[in-house]
Chains A and B, each alone.
Chain A
């Protein structure tokens, strides 16, 4: 158990819908990262937050957004969902900024029908 929690574990929804994925980092970690893992593309970085502020953006679609709250939990919002958004979404956390280990949560499996 990494100490990072994610909810829900599974999510099934329809195209065009909007969903929110939630992540709680390890106690004391200030940085939160979101990754998408699909069958044909491996793990792709989406976005990073540090202490409530956006720090880095990766291949995140405009239909997707995220935020980190004062209690340091983070939410990833996915809207106007398409079939191709079906994937595993992982959250990771680390203590601070700096080259260091990121610890991953168990992921949310999203299926868009």
Chain B
């Protein structure tokens, strides 16, 4: 069953295309940002992180971009696969205080 809200923004992409998921964060002083992937019925799974002294970080098939000027974070997934279908959350933190999660975006990958 679903573990997150029913009214999430949804991004639908075709398998093999690139996906871009966006997030607006709340605190201009936040110094650490994380993207999590949450599949139905499971806990959030770490994907990639970035510190505020960077504006881009790449992982395997994923890239995170940070624009501090407009408090915007994005997650780019290359060659999206069916297994990428999930809800994606950005999270911010300041000095290791609580994580503040965004509302989440549902990614649907169709063949």
Contacts and interface: CB of A to CB of B under 8 A. Distances in A.
Interface string B67-111: 000000000000000000000010001111111111110000000
Interface string A29-40: 001010101011
Contact of B4 (A39, A94, A103): A39
B4 A45 contact: no
B contact face: mostly helix, strand, loop, or mixed: loop
B102 to A, nearest CB: 8
Given A43-B89, A99-B51, A101-B34, A107 B43 contact: yes
Given A97-B96, A101-B34, A102-B99, A39 B44 contact: no
A42 B4 contact: yes
Contacts of B96: 31, 94, 97-100
A86 interface: no
Interface residues of B, number: 29
Contacts of A41: 5
Contacts of B103: 42
Interface string A44-61: 110010000000101000
Given A98-B96, A104-B44, 8 more contacts: A37-B3, A37-B4, A39-B5, A42-B89, A97-B96, A99-B94, A104-B36, A107-B3
